[in-house]
Structure 1
Amino acid sequence: MKKWVVAAKRADFKAIGEKYHIDQVTARLIRNRDVTGDDALREYLYGTIADMHDPEEMKGIGEAADLLLFKMKEKAAIRIIGDYDIDGVTATYILYTGLKKCGAIVDYEIPDRIRDGYGINEQLVQNAWEDGIDTILTCDNGISAIDQIAYAKKLGMTVIVTDHHELRTREEDGKVHAILPDADVVVNPHQPDCPYPYKDLCGGAVAYKLMQELYRKKSFPDREIENLIEYAAIATVGDVMKLTGENRIIVKEGLKRLNHTQNIGLKALIRVNGLEDREINSYHIGFVIGPCINASGRLTTAKKALELLLCGSGERAEVLAEELLSLNTERKELTRQGYEEAVKQIESTSLKDDKVLIVYLPDCHESIAGIIAGRIRERYYRPVFVLTNGEKSVKGSGRSIEGYSMFEEMQKCDDLFLNYGGHPMAAGCSLERENIQPLRERLNIAAHLTEEDLTEKICIDVPMPISYITEHLIEELNVLEPFGTANKKPVFAEKDVSILGARILGQNRNVIKMQVTDTSGIVMDALYFGDVEVFRTYLEDKYGYAETEKLFQNRKTGITLSVIYYPTINEYRGQRSIQIVISDYQ
C-alpha cells in the first residue's frame, strides 16, 4: 500500500507569486522542489546558457584542454573510449565531433557490453597501443579503472579521464581517502578537491564542458559549442540525472535545439517513432528516443547508435533508425519475459521476505538486467539486484530506493565482487556464482531498512480542488518543465471526488474515461491509464458489484474516490476542454 503525504514546506507564496507573476500554486510547487532565494528562483524560471558555470572551475578541465591542444599540434593520434549506454554514446559523439572540428587526429572505441564489459579494459588499451594511439580519452568511464590505466601508462601512453561516477574510497588511519587512477589528467566533479559548484553532471555533460573549454581556447564563437548541447541534454535525461541547477538548463536549452535538430540521424529516429509533428520533451527522450539509442548497446553494438548520430546520409539514417526501433521492440519483449520470471521466483521462494532482493535469472540477457531490476523495484519497493550469467562470471545491475545507497552498501561487500561501480540509486557488478548467496545474506543483514523505509510514499504537492483548475494555470505549469528526477511532474490531489459515470476505452481496453465532480459542482472528464481490472475490483470490494455495474452504465451512484491527478487540456475538433489524468486513487 502506498502512503500519501502532503508536502508542508513553507514560504510566502503570495509574495513569490506577485514578484514573479505566477500563481500561488506554481510558487508552492517551486518551493516543494527546494528552490529558495531570489537567485535560485530566477535561475529556475528563466535560467539560460549564460547562467551555466564556467568550465574552468572544474578541476582538470583547463589542463585537459591544454594537453589535447598540445597533442593536436604534435599530430598525435587520440582515441576516445566511451560506454555502451546513452550517456556514453552521446558523450563519445560530443568529444569526437568537437575534437574533429578542432582538427584532431581522433577515432573512437565503444566497448562491447558482452565481450568487454563496462568501460576501458586491458585489451582495449592493448589494441590502442598496437594501433599507434598516443592518447586515450575516456568518457562516462575510467574513474574506477585503476589497473587498466596503470597498464596504459606502463605502455607509455597519455591518458585523460573524463567521468562522472562516484569515486571508490579506502579507509586508512580513521580517514576516508579517494582512490584515483594514475591518469595524466582526471576530470570528474566528484573529485574531493574539485571546486566545481554543481556535482550532478552526467558523462555527456562533463564531455560538453571539456569541449566548451577547448572551443574557448580555440576562439570559436559561443554558438559552435551550443550546437552540442542537445546531445548533453539527451545524455542527462537518458542517464536519469537530477534535473536541478545546471542540468535543468542543459536539458531546457537542449530540448529547444532538439525540436529543430539538424542531425540527420536524430531526425530519422524522431520520424520512425512517430514524433515528427510533436513537441519533444524530456518524456520522449526518457521513454521513446533514449531506449532506442540504448537498445543497440544492449542487443548488438552501441556503435550502431553512434553511427546514426554521425550519419551524413538520409537513406542510411532511415535504415539505422528502423533497426534501432526494431531492436527496442525486441528488448521490450525480452524485458517482459524476464520480469515475469523474476516475479514468479520472488513469489514462490523466501526471497519475498528479503529487504534487499537478489534475483538470479541465469538465462536473462545481461543487458536488460537493469531494466528488470527497475520494474521489480517499482512493484515491491525495495532495493533490487538482478543477476545473470555473463561470458566469464555472473553479472548484474541494481536499482535502489530512497534511503538506501546502493554503492555504499556494495562497498561493505567489496570482497564478494570481481568488479562493481555506480551511484546511490543504481549500480552494476560482476561476481562468481558461488558468491550470490553470501551477497544476499550479507546485504540483508547489513540493511537497516524499516517498514517505513519500505513503504513507497507519494508526496502530494498541492491538495487542490478540481474547480481551481484553469487553462491559464495549466499553461503556466509548463514553466516547471523539463520534468524528471528531482524535478518531478507536480502531484495534485482532491478528496471525495464523485464519479458520475465511467466507460472503458482503447483498442486493448486499457483506459477508463470518467466524468467527475467535486462539492463546487464543476464537472469534467478524467482519464485513468492504470490496470483496469484492479480498478474495477477495488470499486467492487468497496461499493459492491451492483453499484460498480451502474457506474459503468453511466447511471447515478454514490461512488466517490480520493484521487491524485494532473490537469491537462483536451483538444478535439477545435474544441478545448479541461480534463484531469488520474495516476492513483484511494
Structure 2
Amino acid sequence: MLKNIKFNYKAFSDEIGTSQLLAKLLVNRDIYEKDKAIRYINADLKNLYDGSRMKDMDKGVNIIKSSIEKGLKILIVGDYDVDGVISTYILFSALSECGANVEFKIPDRVKDGYGINENIIKDAKDRGVDTIITCDNGIAAFSQLKLAVELGINVVVTDHHDIQFEEMEDGTKREILPEADAVINPKQNQCTYPFKALCGAGIAYKFSKVLYKAVGINELKADRFIEYAAIATVCDVVDLIDENRILVKSGLHKLNNTQNIGLKALFKEVGIWDKEITVYSLGFIIGPSINASGRLEQALWALKLLISENEHEAEELAKKLHALNVERQQITNKGLEKAIDIIENSEIKDQKVKVIYMPDIHESVAGIIAGRIKERYNSPTFVITKGEEGAKGSGRSIEEYNMFQEMLKCKHLLQKFGGHPMAAGLSLKEEDIIPLQKEINERCTLTDEEMIPKIIIDMPIELRSINLKLAEELRIMEPFGKGNSKPVFACKSLKIIKAAVLGAKKNVIKMKLGSTAGNYNGEGILFQEADKFEEFILTNFGREQLEKIYAGRNNSVIIDIAFNIDINEYNGNKSVQLNIRSYRKS
C-alpha cells in the first residue's frame, strides 16, 4: 500500500529546513506542523514534559517523601519482564539515593503470576511495610490493593497499561481504577499529561525526577536513568514517538558510554561490547537476555546484575542470563513447531483469532510463540498453557485488532487480564478455554481485507536518486521502531545483474540491481529468505534464469522491490545498501 497524502511538501520543507523527501516522510508519520517537526528532528531532552503534570504525581511523590522522612519501610513491587525489572531498578536506585528504607519484590512468573497479589501484600504487612509503590503493574489489581488499604498500607500505583472500563446505559465509558492513595498512569481520562505512551520505566524515571526535586536533590541527577528507560522503551514495544523517541535517542548515546558494571558485563558476554549499541541491540540481544531471567528462573538475577558493583559478580550474572536466553530460544523453537502443527491440523487454521491451548509448554514463552504465530498467519493470537492454578496465557495482535478491548467483551470468561491493544496477558479456568476460543471469534469483526499482510510504502523512488547523501539524511529520523517505522521505498522494473548466496546459514541473498531505464546500479540485500527467493525465481522465470543470475550473465529477470535505504560500513568505507523487504515479478 502506498501512502499518498496531499500536502504542500515544498512549503513545509522550506519551513523546517529539510529536503522535500524528508518532509514527505514526516507527513507520512502525522508530523505536519513546524513545531512538531522541529521537535522531532532535534529530539532534545529539553523537550521532555514536566512529570508533575501527571495526575497524582505530586500526591504520590509526597507520600513517598513523607515515608522517607518518617523512616517508614517502603516496598517496590515490579514485574518480571524487561520493563518491570528496569522500572524496579530505577525506583530502587532513586529512593535509595533519597535515603529511603526501601526493599523490592518482583513476583515469580510461575508461583505468583503477573503483578502484585494478596500474598505479597500480607507478607509485606507482616514484615512491617508501611508503603507500597508499584511499577509496571497495579492498574488492574482491584481486590489486591483494596486489601492493602484495609491493612493500613499506603499505596502508590505507577503503571502504563490500559485502564479497564465499563459501558454505561447512556453509552459512555466509566473508568475502573484500583483503590490507592495515588494512581499515576497518564492513560487516565482525567490526566492532562500531554504524552500517553510512556512505558513503566518511563514513568518511573519521571517519578524519580519529581521526587529528587521534592527532597532537594538536583533533578538533573535523575537523567542517569535515561539509558535504562531506553532499554525498557524499546523492549516493551511502545510507540517510538514524542518523549519515547527522545528517551531512546539520548539513552542510546548514554548506553554506548555506560558506566554500569552489570550492563558492561552483559555487553561483553553477548558479544556486542566493541559494537555500537542500537535499537536492534536492545530489542533482540540485551532485552531477551534480561527477559530470560524472569521467564525461566527469577527476574531477581537481572535486577541484581543492574545493581551489582562487583565485576566478578556481574560477570557471573551475565553468564547466567546469557545461558538462560540460549535455553529459552531452544524451548521457544520447539514450542513454535508444536503450535504450527496444532494450527495446521485443526479448525484453528480457519479462525481469524487463534486461541491455542498448549498445556505442556513453559508459560514464560507463551507470549513469544504467540508473536511468532501472529507474524506467520497475520492473525491475532493467544497461546494458553497450564499454570499452577488454572490456565494462563499471552496474546499478540495485529494493528487492525485492539486485543485489550476485545478481551473486555469476554471478561466474564477471564479470571484476570490486562495489557495493550497489541499485547495482553490473561488467566482463566481450563474449562473456559474452548468457550473463549468460540466467543472471541464470534465477536471478531476483522474483514478478509484487514487480515491480508500489508507493506506500507512511503514513496516510490528512482534508483538514480538513491545516494549516500540521502541515506545520511534519513538517519535524522532515527531511532526507528513501532510508531516511527523505518522509511520504506519502492522501485519498479529492476534488473538483477548478479546475485550471490551469503551467510553462515546460506540464507542471505546479495544482489547487484540495475535500472532498465538507464545505467544506474545499486546493491541490494535480502535477509533470511534465500530459499524463498530461489523458489520465486524458479517459479516465475525458470532454472536457466536463476543460473544466469548467479553467474552474473545477461538474463530476463525483471522485478519490483520494496526496501529500506541503509548505509553499509566496511573497512572505513561507506556505501548505500538497499535492505529488501519484499519483491514481486515486474
| Fold conserved between structures, TM > 0.5 | yes
The SS at the match of 2:355 is strand
Structure 2 residue 151 is the aligned partner of structure 1 residue 180: no
1:37 corresponds to which of 33, 39, 47? 33
- Specify which of 481, 484, 498 is matched with residue 484 of structure 1: 481
Q: Which amino acid aligns with 1:504?
A: V
Map residues 439-450 of structure 1 onto 2, 5 A cutoff: 439-450=436-447
Q: Which AA in structure 1 matches 2:577?
A: Q
Query: For the residues of structure 2 that align with 1:572 and 1:153, how far apart are their CA atoms?
Result: 60
SS in 2 for 1:28: helix
Q: 1:153 deviation in Å?
A: 1.4
Pair 1:434-2:438 in alignment: no
Work out whether residues 15 and 34 of structure 2, in 8 Å CA contact, stay in contact via their aligned partners in 1: no
> After superposition, where does 1:287-298 map in structure 2 within 5 Å?
287-298=284-295
Out of 55, 61, 66, which is 2:51 matched to?
Answer: 55
Q: Partner of 2:368: helix, strand, or coil? A: helix
Q: Larger deviation: 517-526 or 71-80?
A: 517-526
572-581 or 521-530, which moves further after superposition?
572-581
The answer for the alignment partner of 1:81 in structure 2 is 77
Deviates more, 1:521-530 or 1:146-155: 521-530
CA distance in 2, matches of 1:47, 1:508: 39
Paired with 1:52 and 1:576, the residues of 2 have a C-alpha distance of 34
Deviation at 1:269, TM superposition (A): 1.2
Q: Distance in 1 between matches of 2:281 and 2:559?
A: 31
Q: Could you tell me which amino acid in structure 1 is paired with residue 195 of structure 2?
A: Y
Matched residue, 2:17: 21
Q: Counterpart of 2:547 in 1: which secondary structure?
A: helix
The alignment's TM-score, normalised by the length of structure 1, stands at 0.97
CA contact (8 A) 1:81 1:137 kept: yes
Deviation of 1:220 (Å): 2.1
Instruction: Determine the C-alpha separation between the residues in 2 that align with 1:488 and 1:171.
Output: 34
- Which residue does the alignment assign to 1:321? 318
1:132 equivalent in structure 2: 128
Give per-residue Cα distances to partners, 1:119-138, cap 9 Å, x unaligned. 00000001111111111110
Alignment correspondent of 1:537: 535
> What CA deviation, in whole Å up to 9, does each residue of 1:238-273 have, x standing for no partner?
100001111111111111111111111111111222
- Equivalent runs, 1:118-517 vs 2, <5 Å: 118-174=114-170, 175-517=172-514
Q: Aligned residues, how many?
A: 582
- What is the distance in 2 between the residues matched to 1:400 and 1:295? 22
Give the Cα separation in 2 of the matches to 1:414 and 1:535.
44
CA displacement 1:521-571 (0-9 Å, x = unmatched):
122322111321111111111011221122122221110111111222333
8 A contact 1:474–1:568 mirrored in 2? yes
Deviation of residue 275 (structure 1)? Answer: 1.6
* 1: CA distance, partners of 2:283 / 2:481: 9
Maintained 8 Å contact 2:210/2:219: no
Which residue identity is paired with 1:564? A
Residue type at the aligned position of 1:38:
K
Amino acid at match of 2:82: I
CA distance in 2 between counterparts of 1:140 and 1:355 reads 30
Which is bigger in relative contact order (C-alpha 8 A, separation at least 6)? 1
How many Å separate the matches in 1 of 2:169 and 2:21?
52
CA distance in 1, matches of 2:296, 2:109: 9
Cα pair 2:509 2:529 within 8 Å, conserved = no
**Which amino acid is the alignment partner of residue 408 of structure 2?**
Q
**Offset of 1:576 from its aligned partner?**
3.4
The separation in 2 between residues aligned to 1:571 and 1:427, in whole angstroms, is 39
Letter aligned with residue 45 of structure 2 = I
Matched, 1:90 2:83: no
Q: Partners of 1:34 and 1:456 in 2: how far apart? A: 22
Pair 1:101 & 2:97 matched: yes
- Alpha-carbon contact 2:16-2:34 (below 8 Å) kept: no
Give the Cα separation in 1 of the matches to 2:47 and 2:285. 29
Long gaps (5+) in structure 2: none
Give the counterpart letter for 1:385 in structure 2: F
Residues 234, 279 of structure 2: 8 Å contact kept: yes
User: Which secondary structure state, in structure 1, belongs to the residue aligned with residue 129 of structure 2?
Assistant: coil
Are 1:383 and 1:400, in contact at CA under 8 Å, matched by a contact in 2?
yes
Which residue number corresponds to residue 581 of structure 1? 579
Whether 2:65 is the aligned partner of 1:69: answer: yes
Query: RMSD of aligned C-alpha atoms?
Result: 1.2
SS at match of 1:552: helix
Displacement of 1:574:
4.2
Distance 2:497 2:554 in 1: 6
SS in 2 for 1:415: helix
Counterpart amino acid of residue 564 in structure 2: Y
Q: Distance in 2 between matches of 1:195 and 1:19?
A: 30
C-alpha change, 1:576 and 1:203, in structure 2 (3 Å) is closer
| 8 Å Cα contact 1:342/1:361 also seen in 2 | yes
Q: CA shift at 1:68, angstroms?
A: 0.9
Q: Which amino acid aligns with 1:118?
A: Y
Deviation of 1:184 after TM superposition, in Å, equals 1.0
CA distance in structure 1 between the aligned counterparts of 2:155 and 2:568, rounded to whole angstroms: 54
The residue type equivalent to 1:28 in the other structure is K
Q: Which amino acid letter does the alignment assign opposite residue 40 of structure 1?
A: K
Q: Which letter maps to 1:537? A: E
Mapped to 1, the partners of 2:294 and 2:570 lie a distance apart of: 40
Q: Distance in 2 between matches of 1:441 and 1:322?
A: 44
Per-residue Cα deviation, 1:257-303 (whole angstroms, up to 9, x for no partner): 11111111111111222222222121211111111111101011001
User: Counterpart of 2:504 in 1: which secondary structure?
Assistant: coil
Q: 2:523 aligns with which of 508, 513, 525?
A: 525
User: What displacement does 1:379 show?
Assistant: 0.6
Q: Which residue of 2 aligns with 1:552?
A: 550
2:489 partner letter? F
The 1-side partners of 2:529 and 2:466 are apart by 26
Question: Retained in 1: the 8 A contact 2:343–2:349?
Answer: yes
- What secondary structure sits across from 1:501 in the alignment? strand
Given that 1:530 and 1:583 are in contact with CA atoms closer than 8 Å, whether structure 2 keeps it comes out as no
Per-residue CA shift, 1:494-546, capped at 9, x if unaligned? Answer: 01110011111112111111111112312232211132111111111101122
